[in-house]
Each structure stands twice: as structure tokens, then as C-alpha cells.
């Protein structure tokens, strides 16, 4: 019988502890990746919500500005807060229209051109906005379409810039 020589290929044997350590490392890397992905998805979702909220606010403000610029209905408060932005623009506003009190003229060297004041609600709780109207408006809640005007007035010897609405129409509501 001939003796056969057996050639064995060398086997690499990995210790069990090394295999377990590698498995644990892989598990930690996968868990960390999942956690990081979840964190970034949550962050992106929060940012998307913030962007959506800001876009809604912008759209609302854009609508207000468009209605203001185009002469459609706007809030009297918007005009009162920044009347110079409304000068020579047509506006449609609502409020309580009342005759200017006679004692309001005592400060003026020359009387103002308006005889009426538009209040956001029933007077005299709030500050009103002057209105020039040649008709006889009802002493009630009205809708006014008109143009915001600017004039230099004189109050006790001091020139001041004044704003008023030159009414084209006054309709009771």
C-alpha cells in the first residue's frame, strides 16, 4: 500500500470571543445609525412644521397686504398703525362713524378738514381716525370707501403731519 500524503489546507479559526465582540460592535453601529436617522427625521419634521407655520403666516400677511394695496377691505387698525403707508391709496374700512366733538377744535389754529371720526367700535373708548365726508352719514356702524390723505396741520404753533380718510362712499352696515 502506498502511503498517501494528505495535504491539508490551513484553516483559520476565529475565537468565539472575537466573533462575539465583532457582533456586538456591528449591533452598536447599526443601533447608532438607526438612532441618528430617527433623530434627524424628527429634526427635519420639526423644521418642516416650522416652515409650514411660517408660510401660513406669510400667506395671511400677503393677503392682508394685497387687500390693503388693492383697496379692498382692510382693518382700521392697520391704517392707524402705519398711516403713511396708506397715503393716496383707496381703502375700504368699517367702524363706528361719529361727528367730531366740538371741543376737539380748541387745539387747532385752523380747523382740520374733517368733521367726522371713524372708531373701531362704539366711541369714545378707542382712538378714532379722521374722516372727511360732505354727506350726512348715519351716526352708526358704517363701511367707508375712500382715499387716505396726508396734510400738515398746526397745533399750538407746531406743524404736525396728519392723516385722514377722504370718503367716497359711506354705507351703513
Q: Where are the domains of the chain?
A: 15-70, 76-172
Where does the chain show beta strands of DSSP type E?
Answer: 90-99, 116-119, 129-132, 141-155, 158-172
Name the fold adopted by 76-172. Answer: OB fold (Dihydrolipoamide Acetyltransferase, E2P) (2.40.50)
- C-alpha–C-alpha distance, residues 143 and 145, integer Å: 7
Whether pLDDT at 2 is above 60: no
Helical ranges in 70-107 per DSSP H = 76-81
pLDDT tens for residues 99-143?
877 666 555 556 677 888 888 876 555 678 889 988 876 667 898
Decide: helix, strand or coil at residue 13: coil
Amino acid at each position: 500500500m502506498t502511503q498517501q500524503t494528505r495535504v491539508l489546507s490551513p484553516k483559520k479559526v476565529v475565537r468565539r470571543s472575537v466573533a462575539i465582540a465583532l457582533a456586538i460592535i456591528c449591533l452598536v453601529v447599526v443601533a447608532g445609525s438607526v438612532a441618528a436617522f430617527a433623530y434627524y427625521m424628527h429634526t427635519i419634521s420639526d423644521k418642516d412644521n416650522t416652515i409650514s407655520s411660517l408660510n401660513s403666516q406669510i400667506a395671511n400677511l400677503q393677503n392682508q397686504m394685497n387687500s390693503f394695496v388693492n383697496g379692498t377691505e382692510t382693518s382700521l387698525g392697520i391704517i392707524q398703525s402705519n398711516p403713511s403707508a396708506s397715503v393716496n391709496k383707496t381703502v375700504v374700512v368699517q367702524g363706528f362713524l361719529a361727528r367730531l366733538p366740538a371741543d376737539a377744535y380748541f387745539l387747532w389754529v385752523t380747523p382740520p378738514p374733517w368733521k367726522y371720526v371713524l372708531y373701531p367700535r362704539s366711541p369714545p373708548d378707542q382712538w378714532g381716525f379722521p374722516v372727511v365726508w360732505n354727506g350726512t352719514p348715519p351716526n352708526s356702524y358704517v363701511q367707508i370707501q375712500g382715499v387716505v390723505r396726508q396734510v400738515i396741520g398746526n397745533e399750538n404753533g407746531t406743524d404736525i403731519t396728519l392723516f385722514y380718510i377722504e370718503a367716497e362712499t359711506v354705507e351703513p352696515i
